[in-house]
């Protein structure tokens, strides 16, 4: 692929952005059109107001939220892969997800998340986001050595914090009652909830702004792929970039885990797929990931909603079941040969 | 250590004694056991057979009968603490089907504790468990009497709803995410007994995640929501969460009930009482409206709580 070496032309950026936007649009339409029951898009215009309610208040918010979370996870994944210069990095590798899960599970243990009030609905994500922020501050503090955020310390701290969180979660689960256990397990498996449009709008805005800030660093990510020394020589303020990437990526991850639990592989498989298609230029990769990740999670959630209807599957199960083998396939068939991984 | 050792020796001795006594298999006076019950349903069966005096320990979640309150706790259903059980000199452990107990149960059997697994998720399961425990304790006749009473209670309920309208019932166990009682659960059996039709009819077994869209499209006439098990939670007839879907027949007619889970979802000897309560919810014209107190947790302080 010679294109990888060629400078990014505005035309190529526009073309691929348009293609992925179209893919996302198709995914959104499919997601809104199909469901476990027989409500479909035409019900929007139909005479039956109850079917319109199901479409607009139950299905559509969930489809849109899946898009928001998918793009957040994918952009976070691409950014962490750039930051750590490690193809195995995913949004969960730096430990923030562990903090978020602990926060969420503690909220469930305290009995939030099932009541009628607005606070009950928001408490679990709020606690989880608090946990994510706590983990973020802690990990950054530990990984900062002599005023510098070193990538290896960061990675190690994240891995150890994740192992610690997992142990803490098992500890909490072993104390929980059977009913609580049910709620905790479903929360951790990853589930796209149904939120009202106001909450949805807030989440979308926050994740869009964080993604935009990451886009603005795309050039620096490209420089960073030469190694920190190389990037420094190109005039990149490496320390600032690393810190901002860690913060913004962690915010996106924390936001997504708080709302939907641990939905795996979106931040790993989609970035690699796009890298194979588009090459490693982050100026193209990040916007492509923004739309591609959204489309992927919308489709995965569509599967989760419909494939075993009237049952539902946790969407995290779908992304991992599809994502895992697909990732291995990519690794064997193309990446291995080209040494791209 | 010492008292434990003493109890262990006593326990083993008692076990031998019990085994020997059981050997003739005749009409000899029933052997007294030292029993641990891991599941609430098993405790209820012992109570129905008037054998709670043989209890020496209970699982963490057994709160009833009142005699259970003072007894040593020996662990969660799936994980009885082997050392505790043995040190109590237990010779019979009653539990409900729970795969996770496997290795622990095997160890206990090795140590001479008889482990009996009961199936209490269906009417027939409860009744056969009753017979099984009755036989173990030499109280077959009493078990048979209780069984006859329960069968006639259920039969009477069934007869009363033969000509009643079949109401569509959604029985919610968890809401975030939504899961509901499906075929294979005792709730499904109860719904049919009281002349209802479970809207979760196919594909779902026991309790699984249910599509909210399907739940809404199925347009239940009655919604029973037991998802909130916290003290002080909304109870009784109210629209609550489901009020946001005014097109549901259950919401239109105000037939949404929030019920303490213990009242309906924990299967066991209380199945006839649970069925009676569900009958009042689904067919109030026939069984009469339920008393508001019937939606609340049991008052265990009252001494005769649980009934």
**In sequence order, what DSSP letters do the residues of A270-307 get, joined into one string?**
HHHHHHHHH-S-HHHHHHHHHHHHHHHHHHHHHHHHHT
What the block records as the tokens of A129 is 């986001």
- The number of CA neighbours under 13 Å toward the Cβ of B281 is 33
Cα A181–A105–A125 angle (5° rounding)? Answer: 130
Q: How far apart are CA A268 and CA A331, in angstroms?
A: 12
Q: Mean pLDDT in runs of 10 for chain A (341 residues)?
A: 57 92 96 87 84 89 96 95 88 90 88 66 86 91 88 90 92 77 80 86 95 95 90 89 93 91 89 89 94 96 88 88 82 59 44
What number is the average pLDDT over the span B181-186? 86
Check A182 against B174: CB less than 8 A apart. Answer: yes
**Structural element, H or E, at residue B133:** helix B123-136
Which residues in chain B touch residue A58, judged by CB atoms under 8 angstroms apart? Answer: 212-213, 216
β B35-37/B92-96 pair status? parallel
Which residues in chain B touch residue A195, judged by CB atoms under 8 angstroms apart? Answer: none
Chosen for mutation from A310, A311, A312 (greatest number of chain B CBs closer than 10 Å) is A310
- What is the rounded (10 degree) CA torsion for A38, A39, A41, A46? 120
**pLDDT for the residue numbered B300:** 59
For CA atoms A220, A224, A228, A229, the dihedral sign is: negative
Check A57 against B204: CB less than 8 A apart. Answer: no
Q: Give the one of A37, A113, A311 whose C-beta lies nearest to B176's C-beta.
A: A113
Integer angstrom CA distances of residue B16 from A64, B89, B139: 67, 11, 20
pLDDT at B111 over 60: yes
**Structural element, H or E, at residue B36:** strand B35-37
Quick check: A87 contacting B, CB < 8 Å? no
User: pTM for the complete prediction?
Assistant: 0.81
Q: How far apart are CA A332 and CA B14, in angstroms?
A: 65
Check B175 against A308: CB less than 8 A apart. Answer: no
Instruction: Determine the residue of chain A that is closest to B218 in CA distance.
Output: A37
Instruction: Determine the residue of chain A that is closest to B204 in CA distance.
Output: A311
Which residues in chain B touch residue A39, judged by CB atoms under 8 angstroms apart? Answer: 213, 217
Instruction: Determine the residue of chain B that is closest to A60 in CA distance.
Output: B213
Of B11 and B245, the one with more pLDDT:
B245
Of B282 and B1, the one with more pLDDT:
B282
Contact B65/B87 with Cβ under 8 angstroms? Answer: no
Check B214 against A49: CB less than 8 A apart. Answer: no
Quick check: A235 contacting B, CB < 8 Å? no
pLDDT at B12 over 70: no
pLDDT at B29 over 70: no
Integer angstrom CA distances of residue B191 from A88, B38, B118, B198, B257: 51, 27, 23, 6, 14
Check B210 against A182: CB less than 8 A apart. Answer: no
Instruction: Determine the residue of chain A that is closest to B173 in CA distance.
Output: A179
pLDDT at B30 over 90: no
How many A/B residue pairs have CB atoms within 8 Å? 89
What number is the average pLDDT over the span B135-140? 92
**pLDDT for the residue numbered B27:** 42
Check A305 against B211: CB less than 8 A apart. Answer: yes
**pLDDT for the residue numbered B28:** 45
Q: Give the one of B61, B77, B216 whose C-beta lies nearest to A58's C-beta.
A: B216
Which residues in chain B touch residue A308, judged by CB atoms under 8 angstroms apart? Answer: 203
**pLDDT > 90: percent of chain B:** 35
What number is the average pLDDT over the span B207-228? 89
**pLDDT for the residue numbered A117:** 62
Check A49 against B227: CB less than 8 A apart. Answer: no
Check A179 against B213: CB less than 8 A apart. Answer: no
Quick check: A229 contacting B, CB < 8 Å? no
Chosen for mutation from A33, A38, A311, A314 (greatest number of chain B CBs closer than 10 Å) is A311
Quick check: A2 contacting B, CB < 8 Å? no
Check B230 against A115: CB less than 8 A apart. Answer: yes
Structure ipTM: 0.76
Distance of CA A236 to the CA centre of its chain: 27
**pLDDT for the residue numbered B38:** 87
**pLDDT for the residue numbered B271:** 87
């Amino acid at each position: 692929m010679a294109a990888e070496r060629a400078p990014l032309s505005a035309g190529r950026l526009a073309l691929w952005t348009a293609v992925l936007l179209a893919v996302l649009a198709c995914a959104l339409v499919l997601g809104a059109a199909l469901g476990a029951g027989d409500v479909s898009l035409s019900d929007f215009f139909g005479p039956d107001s109850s079917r319109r309610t199901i479409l607009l208040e139950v299905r559509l918010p969930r489809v849109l939220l899946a898009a928001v979370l998918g793009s957040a996870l994918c952009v976070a994944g691409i950014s962490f892969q750039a930051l750590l210069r490690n193809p195995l990095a995913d949004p969960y590798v730096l430990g923030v997800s562990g903090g978020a899960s602990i926060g969420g599970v503690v909220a469930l243990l305290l009995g939030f998340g099932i009541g009628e009030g607005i606070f009950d609905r928001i408490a679990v994500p709020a606690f989880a986001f608090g946990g994510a922020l706590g983990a973020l501050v802690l990990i950054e503090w530990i990984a900062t050595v002599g005023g510098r955020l070193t990538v290896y310390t960061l990675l190690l701290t994240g891995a150890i914090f994740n192992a610690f969180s997992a142990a803490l979660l098992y500890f909490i689960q072993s104390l929980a009652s059977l009913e609580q256990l049910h709620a905790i397990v479903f929360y951790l498996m990853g589930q796209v909830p149904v939120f009202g449009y106001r909450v949805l709008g807030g989440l979308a805005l926050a994740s869009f702004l964080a993604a935009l800030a990451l886009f603005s660093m795309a050039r620096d990510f490209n420089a960073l792929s030469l190694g920190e020394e190389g990037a420094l020589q190109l005039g990149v303020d490496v320390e600032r970039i690393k810190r901002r990437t860690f913060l913004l990526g962690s915010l996106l991850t924390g936001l997504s885990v708080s709302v939907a639990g641990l939905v795996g592989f979106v931040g790993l498989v989609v970035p690699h797929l796009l890298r194979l298609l588009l090459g490693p230029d982050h100026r193209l990769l990040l916007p492509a990931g923004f739309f591609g990740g959204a489309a992927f999670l919308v489709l995965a959630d569509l599967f989760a909603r419909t494939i075993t209807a009237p049952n539902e599957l946790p969407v995290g199960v779908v992304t991992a079941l599809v994502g895992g083998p697909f990732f291995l396939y990519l690794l064997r068939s193309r990446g291995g040969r080209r040494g791209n991984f | 250590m010492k008292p434990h050792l003493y109890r262990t020796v006593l326990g083993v001795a008692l076990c031998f004694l019990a085994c020997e006594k059981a050997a003739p298999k005749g009409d000899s006076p029933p052997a007294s056991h030292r029993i641990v019950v891991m599941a609430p349903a098993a405790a209820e069966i012992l109570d129905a057979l008037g054998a709670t005096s043989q209890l020496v320990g209970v699982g963490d979640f057994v709160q009833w009968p009142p005699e259970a309150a003072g007894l040593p706790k020996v662990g969660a259903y799936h994980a009885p603490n082997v050392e505790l059980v043995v040190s109590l000199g237990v010779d019979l452990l009653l539990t409900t089907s729970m795969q996770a107990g496997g290795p622990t149960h095997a160890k206990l059997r090795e140590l001479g504790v008889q482990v009996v697994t009961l199936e209490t998720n269906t009417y027939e399961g409860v009744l056969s468990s009753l017979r099984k425990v009755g036989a173990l304790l030499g109280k077959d006749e009493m078990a048979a009497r209780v069984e006859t009473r329960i069968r006639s209670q259920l039969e009477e309920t069934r007869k009363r709803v033969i000509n009643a309208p079949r109401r569509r019932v959604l029985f919610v166990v968890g809401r975030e995410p939504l899961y509901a009682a499906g075929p294979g659960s005792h709730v499904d059996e109860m719904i049919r007994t009281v002349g209802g039709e479970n809207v979760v009819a196919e594909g779902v077994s026991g309790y699984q995640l249910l599509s909210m869209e399907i739940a809404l499209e199925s347009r239940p006439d009655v919604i029973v929501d037991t998802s909130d098990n916290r003290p002080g939670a909304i109870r009784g007839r109210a629209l609550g969460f489901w009020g946001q879907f005014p097109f549901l027949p259950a919401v239109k007619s105000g037939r949404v009930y929030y019920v303490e889970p213990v009242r309906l979802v924990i299967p066991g000897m209380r199945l006839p009482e649970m069925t009676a309560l569900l009958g009042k919810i689904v067919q109030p014209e026939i069984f009469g409206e339920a008393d508001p107190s019937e939606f609340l947790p049991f008052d265990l302080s009252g001494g005769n709580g649980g009934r």
